[in-house]
Structure 1
Amino acid sequence: MLELFLQPEALMIFATLFALEVVLGVDNIVFISVLCERLPLHQRKMARNLGIALAVVARIGLVFSISWVMSLTQPLVNVLSYDFSGRDLIMIGGGAFLLAKSLKELWMCFSHTHQQQASTVRAGIALVLLQIVAVDAVFSMDSVITAVGLTSEVPLMVAAILASAVIMVLCAEKINDYVMRYPGLKTLALLFLVMLGGMLMAEGFAIHLNKGYVYFAMAFGLIIETCHIVLKKQNKKIIRRVYPQPCGWAIKAK
């Protein structure tokens, strides 16, 4: 098995699969961060790590069920002269769930009663983990099918998934902190999930869209939001420099 990883062609395939899994991992971390926000503070880190672990297990399980996954590409039902495979139905259902969940979170962000709902409505950790695994299975379906198109070597696929899992665990907390600390980043993340949900549904209806455009648009939005955050911090520093003692006037007035 070690000889397999020493072959130049295998290393190229591993690098491609690793990049694919890292991109998928970012999607997962954003979704996990949004879901875990509904949990009490002391449960969020545990739920996030458990969610990542279960997501990795689900992906590896799909890899070892390649024959079943590939059978999902065969026509299953016919509706109005359109053939839908098992994969199409999973994509449509998963995309609809992701779209509905993201839109609901966006609505709560812009709602005046968001803080009240967040403090009174708390999801159970089991329900959160179940949603993470369900959505990750939908995300993973395409990546596994793509991986099968690149190679038939299961060890390469499993190694890429495990390597990306390490990156996810190392970056999850930082990404979660940034997404939750800055409202603009959270809104951008939710809009990203809305677009992903729409794209998954489109894939289910055989409307193939280039995901590169979505990632480029979100990267551009991330750059703009980062510039806003940096400028805001610089403005605060300038204000502190000009007015080092904001309460001084009140003291003199007394």
Structure 2
Amino acid sequence: MDSILALMQDPAAWIALVTLVVMEVVLGIDNLIFISILTNKLPPEHRVQARRIGIGLALIMRLALLGTIAWIVKLTNPVFELFGHGFSWKDMILIAGGLFLVWKATKEIHHNVDPVDHKEDMVGGAALTSFSAAIGQILILDLVFSIDSIITAVGMTPHLPIMVVAVLAAVTVMLLAATPLANFIEKNPTIVMLALAFLLMIGTTLIAEGMGFHVPKGYIYAAMAFSALVEVLNMVSRNARQKNKGAGH
């Protein structure tokens, strides 16, 4: 208790907390896009419940992983060497998660480009994703993103309470933003393709990170922000043209 009170009185701890919360929220965008696209494949009456359960279980997973920080940190130790690069468990998890994300995004892009082939979707089975399959896939990606973010958090602060508060704040933001984002993506088909392109880029980045090629996250999110801004301008332009056509008639 005394250590927590000491942290609350330390300005450096507050700076670390704010920085970590922002980082967790930004890193959560990737996860949130995947959750939104995946749960939109469910029947409408199950979508909100799936998002809440998936994000809630993700919170439990992250808090559990925070309790094993000593083990998580060891995941960065090389296990074997290949082509002059030492691969750690973290690298292998990132590569596996990246491949999973690339495969899912590619299948969904194929489904959107070729809507006649409606039998294949992100699960590769029925036209609609099953509830349990959606939760399972959310947790798989959560595990990958959680390990990556926790290892990054350990490098920013040694204080566990700060990490816990940052995770709670980030997951709260995800819970609040999940349904509005999913509804926005569903109502705007072009946004779906843009979001899938983001997932494809993120998956490729995870693979590159796992292979030892550092890709600055700032470049990735700057590219995503610029693409999103261009799409917003396109949407505004389309709406303006439709209004002009309606006024002409």
Match of 1:248 in 2: none
Matches within 5 A, 1:79-158: 79-113=82-116, 115=118, 121-158=127-164
State how far apart, in whole Å, the 2-side matches of 1:55 and 1:42 are. Answer: 21
Percent identity between the two aligned chains: 38
The change in CA–CA distance for 1:116 and 1:100 in structure 2 (over 3 A counts) is closer
Query: Which TM-score applies when normalising by structure 1?
Result: 0.90
SS of residue paired to 1:76 = strand
Q: 1:57 aligns with which of 53, 56, 60?
A: 60
State how far apart, in whole Å, the 2-side matches of 1:112 and 1:73 are. Answer: 42
Q: 2:24 aligns with which of 17, 21, 26?
A: 21
SS of residue paired to 2:115 = coil
State how far apart, in whole Å, the 2-side matches of 1:208 and 1:241 are. Answer: 52
Stretch of structure 1 that moved more, 234-243 or 18-27: 234-243
Shift of the alpha carbon at 1:233?
1.3
User: Structure 1 regions of 5+ residues with no counterpart?
Assistant: 244-254
Note the alpha carbon deviations across 1:98-132, whole angstroms, 9 max, x for none: 11111111111101325565795222211111111
SS of residue paired to 1:83 = strand
Match of 2:213 in 1: 207
Match of 2:14 in 1: 11
Matched, 1:232 2:238: yes
AA matched with 1:233: N
Shift of the alpha carbon at 1:239?
2.0
Q: 1:192 aligns with which of 172, 191, 198?
A: 198
8 Å contact from structure 2 (residues 95, 211) kept in 1: yes
In the comparison of the two structures, how many residue pairs are matched?
A: 243
Query: Which TM-score applies when normalising by structure 2?
Result: 0.92
Match of 1:247 in 2: none
SS of residue paired to 2:87 = strand
8 Å contact from structure 1 (residues 188, 218) kept in 2: no
AA matched with 1:139: F
Shift of the alpha carbon at 1:25?
1.8
Match of 1:71 in 2: 74
Radius of gyration: which is bigger? 1
Instruction: Indicate the RMSD between aligned Cα atoms, in angstroms.
Output: 1.7
User: Structure 2 regions of 5+ residues with no counterpart?
Assistant: none
Note the alpha carbon deviations across 1:117-175, whole angstroms, 9 max, x for none: 57952222111111111111111222111111111111100101111122111111111
